[in-house]
Structure 1
Amino acid sequence: MSSAISGIELAQQLAQVRTEVRDLQRTVESLRHALEAAHVEKDRAVRAAETIAGQEAAQLKVAVAALRDELEHAQILREQEVQRAQAAGQDEIHQLRTTVAALRDELEYASIEQQTQVQAALAASANETAQLKATAGALREQLEMMRTRQEQTVQDERLVAEQEKQQLRDTIEAMRDAMDEGRKA
């Protein structure tokens, strides 16, 4: 019987092994499908990334082209401004030269007129200086007289003040003596 049991057990074990093999085959198949799905998803993600990268590259190319155009436009504008500034500078230089020539002529005329006026002013000044010197001399004499009077007045006031101080000292001395006499009595 042990061989019969062994046959049954063997059949059961064989069935169990076949079941495990089928389960493992299903698992392998499931994993294979999952792996294929992952590959498909990865390929889709790579294509999407490539598409996005291509779009970004295209956008960057457009942006670079726009910036290049803008830079060229800015350079053209700057060159035009430089040319305008140079033309304005040349025009201003011409105007300044014309103005300098006119001012030089005017200065020469003014210099001649000024020399004439200076000569007249010097003559008038010499006359006025003589008058001012005479006036200054007279004023000096008056000032000296006023100083002398003022010094005399100050000396007189000092003398009066000294006399008053001396009288007050004498009065104080007399009052002290009288108080001392009053205390002794």
Structure 2
Amino acid sequence: MPWGKGLGLATDVQNADSEIRHLRETVNALRDALEAKDSDARRMRDDALEIAKAEQDQLRDTIDALRTALEKSETERHEIAAEARHAAEGEVTQLKRTIDALRGEMESLASDKDAALIAAQDQHRSEIRQMRDTVSALRDKLEDANNG
């Protein structure tokens, strides 16, 4: 019987070795699967970080482009406002000159009118004096004719 017990022990050892090998293979397979999943997870993380970095770069570029466009728009707005102010100032200056010229013409016309009126009045007075002188001379002649 010792032989039978020995066979049982050898079988037990063999079974235990077989189970240990199976467990080692399972552990190795699980380790390989875990390493593969870890590698996949790292790759996915790296891909996600790369995508996020690309999106950040794209957003920075968009922000920079918008900032540049805003600055350009602001500069153009200032230039347009300055041009409009300059044009308006030029128009105001021209209108003032036109008003001054028209005022001068009106004053000249008023002065000419006053001078013409004074000349007409002087002419009229002169004509009245001349008529009085004529009437007076005719009266004198009539009196001389009546007396003579």
TM-score normalised per structure 2: 0.64
How far the C-alpha of 1:48 sits from its partner, in A, is: 0.9
Cα distance per residue 1:57-103 (max 9 Å; x no partner): 22222222222222221111111001001001111222233444566
Q: Distance in 2 between matches of 1:17 and 1:93?
A: 110
Query: Which residue of 2 is the match for residue 67 of structure 1?
Result: 102
**In the alignment, which residue of structure 1 is the partner of 2:57?**
22
Counterpart residue identity of residue 85, structure 2: E
Q: Give, in whole Å, the separation in 1 of the partners of 2:107 and 2:37.
A: 100
**How do 1:30-179 residues align onto structure 2 when only pairs under 5 Å count?**
30-101=65-136
- Structure 1 window deviating more from structure 2 (28-37 vs 55-64): it is 55-64
Q: Distance in 2 between matches of 1:108 and 1:15?
A: 135
**1:144 aligns to what?**
none
Structure 1: any 5+ residue segments left out of the alignment? 113-185
Paired with 1:46 and 1:82, the residues of 2 have a C-alpha distance of 52
Over aligned residue pairs, what C-alpha RMSD do you find? 2.5
For residues 8-35 of structure 1, the C-alpha deviation after alignment (integer angstroms, 9 at most, x for no partner) is 1121111011101101101110111111
- C-alpha separation in 2, matches of 1:97 and 1:36: 89
Code of the residue aligned with 1:87 in structure 2: it is: D
* Percent sequence identity over aligned pairs: 32
Q: Which amino acid aligns with 2:78?
A: D
TM-score, reference length from structure 1: 0.52
Equivalent-residue separation in structure 1 for 2:45 and 2:114 (angstroms): 99
Aligned to 2:48: 13
1:27-59: CA deviations, max 9, x gaps? 110111111111111111111111111111222
